[in-house]
């Protein structure tokens, strides 16, 4: 998958070069490019924003600089352009799986009060929000999207680890334990030491249902629908 990011702060994306995403970049499972929207400003001081028509606090990113930066990207008929926005539809595991099948994503990161609506109407296929709160910019949401989508790209993670994760089958994951066997007087549940795979599977399934019922009962209701 190729991901082009339109941003005013490309330096923020260096943190993607670590751990599992770093490895996915190294193995070409994903290619990530940043395009600095400011490079497309025609003004002497590289200004990219201006006051909002109609008044109000804060600045709005101009449509022309965004459009020119978008036009600098080579596209195919399979390119999908996403604007990270608190007004978008919520990013869910379901949506993540769907996006992991895309060939080419363009992610537009807003800042300040947002982006002029006219360029959004012209270039954006979909608006996605990472939660019902407002962040300073679209950079962290874009990184969240890239991180979670990359985990679902074929070959990046072991298929088993994705299958049993939280939100698969509308359940949260069962609790995990590792060495030492006894920690601060607390013992690892006996069944996990038994070597009986059928019993372990049964225990994990029950735990997953109990945890989901306790912490996120609405997920179980989703399953019933």
Ligand X SMILES: C[S@@+](CC[C@H](N)C(=O)[O-])C[C@H]1O[C@@H](n2cnc3c(N)ncnc32)[C@H](O)[C@@H]1O
In the complex, the residues that contact ligand X under the rule CB under 6 A are 84-87, 109-111, 113-115, 129-131, 133-138, 141
- Torsions phi, psi of 196, nearest 5? -90, 100
Q: Please tell me the distance from the alpha carbon of residue 41 to that of residue 188, in angstroms, as a whole number.
A: 59
Cβ-based nearer residue to ligand X, 134 or 184: 134
CB of 105 to ligand X, least distance (A): 15
Cβ-based nearer residue to ligand X, 85 or 170: 85
108: region left, alpha or beta (phi > 0 left; psi from -120 to 50 alpha): beta
Token pair for 179:
């060495």
Cβ-based nearer residue to ligand X, 6 or 171: 6
CB of 223 to ligand X, least distance (A): 26
CB of 109 to ligand X, least distance (A): 5
Q: Which residues of 12-45 are buried (b: 16+ CB within 10 A; e: fewer)?
A: bbeebeeeebeebbeeebbebebbbbeebbeeee
Interaxial angle between packed helices 217-224 and 197-215, expressed in degrees from 0 to 180 and rounded to the nearest 10: 110
CA distances to 86, 182, 209, 217 from 222, rounded to whole Å, are 24, 37, 13, 9
CB of 165 to ligand X, least distance (A): 22
Rounded-to-5 percentages of helix, strand, coil across the chain:
40, 20, 40
Q: Please say whether the beta carbons of 87 and 44 come within 8 A.
A: no
Cβ-based nearer residue to ligand X, 4 or 170: 4
Cβ-based nearer residue to ligand X, 34 or 85: 85
CB of 58 to ligand X, least distance (A): 7
Nearest residue (beta carbon) to ligand X: 110
CB of 9 to ligand X, least distance (A): 11
Residues facing residue 83 across a β-bridge: 108, 127
Cβ-based nearer residue to ligand X, 135 or 162: 135
């Amino acid at each position: 998958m190729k991901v082009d990011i339109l941003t005013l702060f490309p330096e923020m994306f260096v943190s993607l070069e670590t751990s599992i995403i770093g490895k996915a970049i190294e193995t070409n499972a994903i290619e990530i490019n940043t395009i600095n929207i400011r490079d497309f400003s025609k003004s002497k001081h590289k200004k990219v924003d201006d006051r909002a028509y109609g008044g109000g606090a804060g600045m709005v990113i101009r449509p022309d600089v965004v459009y020119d930066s978008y036009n600098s990207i080579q596209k195919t008929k399979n390119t999908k352009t996403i604007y990270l926005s608190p007004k978008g539809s919520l990013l869910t595991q379901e949506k993540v799986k769907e996006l992991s099948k895309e060939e080419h994503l363009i992610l537009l990161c807003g800042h300040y009060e947002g982006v002029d609506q006219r360029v959004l109407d012209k270039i954006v296929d979909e608006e996605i929000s990472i939660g019902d709160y407002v962040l300073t910019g679209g950079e962290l949401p874009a990184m969240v999207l890239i991180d979670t989508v990359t985990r679902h790209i074929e070959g990046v993670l072991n298929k088993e680890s994705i299958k049993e994760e939280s939100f698969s089958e509308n359940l949260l994951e069962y609790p995990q334990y590792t060495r030492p066997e006894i920690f601060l007087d607390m013992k690892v549940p006996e069944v996990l030491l038994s070597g009986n795979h059928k019993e372990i599977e049964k225990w994990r399934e029950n735990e997953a249902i109990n945890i989901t019922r306790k912490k996120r009962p609405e997920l179980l209701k989703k399953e019933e629908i």
